[in-house]
Amino acid sequence: MSADNGHDASGPSGPSSPSGPSGPSSPSSPSGAGCTGGWPVADLDPVRRMRVLASGLTAGAYGELRIEAPFDRVWSYLADLDHSIPDLIGFIRRFELAADGTAVATGLLGNRGRFDVDLRDGWCVMQDRFVVGGFAAVANGEATLLAGCGAVRTPGLRRAVPLLFGERAVLRTLGKVRSHVQGSGG
Amino acid sequence: MSAGEDTDDAPGAASAPGAVRWVRAAQRGDALAMTRLLDELTPYVGRLCAPIALADGPDAAQEALIAVFQNLHTLREPAALYGWVRRIAVREAIRVAQRRARQQPAELAEIPAPGSPELAVDVRDVLDRLSPEHRAILMLREVEGLDERAAAEVLEVSAGTAKSRLSRAKAAFRKQWTS
């Protein structure tokens, strides 16, 4: 597919144009078709959006897992990043999220990295100079569909991808979330 | 909350409309810039895909956005983003609609004028009976406000084909509407 650099440098226009950016649709009500001005519109829930994001990451991995627990329980665990990240990522000993959306991760050897974090309901993406990680979740009946992705930003680190961010590693991490959430009862 | 360290490299980038200002950083693999781009493009793509793919609108929008993100590196000029995305979204929506073979092309007569109030009411029921190609030309005309020449470019058909397709789509729409 080739890029088109032709006409139409403007943003979307037309009678039904939305205004302003929007985040993922409500994770507790999965995406579907809506209606604006009589014309149908489609939205994407956080898991669909994570599929898109993961598709655009170089040297990335992606996985999904259904968890037999309600969305609120799953997300309240995951969104508490200071606790969930060290639980889930073996080589991170401490994770401290600040109010400005940045976080400092401390590794097992005391090494530190600064992350930018985008955390919303059902959506979390974190990156530093070297790696990207993300979770998304959406209610699936009484259960929750959880998605995870990981990628390496630095070409020199990409040989470590299968170990740190391969699909199996992502699924293993999602499995830890399931174990924790289902083990915590409710 | 920043979207990475390298988002404002182009002169005037901060004042660029919508998603355009995130393109360069997203092309370099900045995941937070990609997230912003996704925030901006999703409503637009959803509006393009749903009238064509109908119930499969979320699938079509997802597949269109995947095509956009997988090929973002080929976009040389960020200012061309929306036109490029529109072409991809319409193509993917038609493909999804055809693949699902949900609809049969309808017979075709005349339709309300662009902007007519009756067009905005319960459009979906009428769209449901049109082919994906007819839904696409109607959407480009009525939702996007494109003229026939611009719509022909998006659909990669001749101006004559677009004109006749639009005429038949409007006729079909009118017939369905009044039936």
Mean pLDDT of B71-75: 96
A19 touching chain B per CB within 8 A: no
Pick from A5-19, A76-90, A154-168, B51-65: least confident: A5-19
Pick from A74-88, A154-168, B13-27, B80-94: least confident: A154-168
As given in the structure block, the two tokens for residue B58 are: 């979320």
Backbone phi, psi, residue A149, to 5° = -145, 155
CB-CB under 8 Å, B123 with A127: no
3-class DSSP state of A132: strand
Residue A100 scores a pLDDT above 60: yes
Q: Give percent helix, percent strand, percent coil of chain A, each to the nearest 5.
A: 30, 35, 35
Q: CA B71 to CA A1: how far, in whole Å?
A: 7
pLDDT score of A154: 78
Question: How far away is chain A from the Cα of B140, in angstroms, using its nearest Cα?
Answer: 9
pLDDT score of B128: 81
**Closest residue in chain A to residue B26, using alpha carbons only:** A56
Question: What are the C-alpha distances in Å from A130 to residues A114, A115, B23?
Answer: 10, 10, 20
pLDDT score of A185: 60
Which residues of A, range 92-131, sit inside 8 Å of B by Cβ? 100-102, 116-118, 125, 127, 129
Condensed to tens digits (0 to 9), the pLDDT of residues A104-162 reads: 999 988 999 999 999 999 999 999 998 899 999 999 999 999 999 999 887 766 666 56
Q: CA A96 to CA A101: how far, in whole Å?
A: 10
CB-CB under 8 Å, A33 with B54: yes
Which residues of A, range 31-90, sit inside 8 Å of B by Cβ? 31-44, 48-49, 51-53, 55-58
Condensed to tens digits (0 to 9), the pLDDT of residues B135-174 reads: 999 899 888 899 889 999 999 999 899 988 888 888 877 7
Q: Provide the phi-psi class of B93: left if phi over 0, else alpha when psi is between -120 and 50, else beta.
A: alpha
Q: Which residues pair with A44 in a beta bridge?
A: none
A155 touching chain B per CB within 8 A: no
Q: Give percent helix, percent strand, percent coil of chain B, each to the nearest 5.
A: 70, 0, 30
Name the residue type at position B108: L
Averaged pLDDT score across all residues of chain A: 83
Contact (CB, 8 A) for A27 and A19? no
Percentage of chain B modeled with pLDDT above 70: 75
Question: How far away is chain A from the Cα of B164, in angstroms, using its nearest Cα?
Answer: 22
Q: Let me know the angle formed at the C-alpha of B7 by A88 and A86, rounded to the nearest 5 degrees.
A: 10
pLDDT-based confidence at residue A11 (cuts at 50, 70, 90): very low
Condensed to tens digits (0 to 9), the pLDDT of residues A20-37 reads: 335 666 676 545 656 656
Condensed to tens digits (0 to 9), the pLDDT of residues B3-42 reads: 443 333 333 444 456 678 899 999 999 999 999 999 999 9
Closest partner residue to B80 (CB to CB) among A6, A16, A48 is: A6
Contact (CB, 8 A) for A107 and A93? yes
pLDDT-based confidence at residue A17 (cuts at 50, 70, 90): very low
**Closest residue in chain A to residue B122, using alpha carbons only:** A38
Give the best-scoring range by mean pLDDT among A135-149, B89-103, B127-141: A135-149
Residue A176 scores a pLDDT above 70: yes
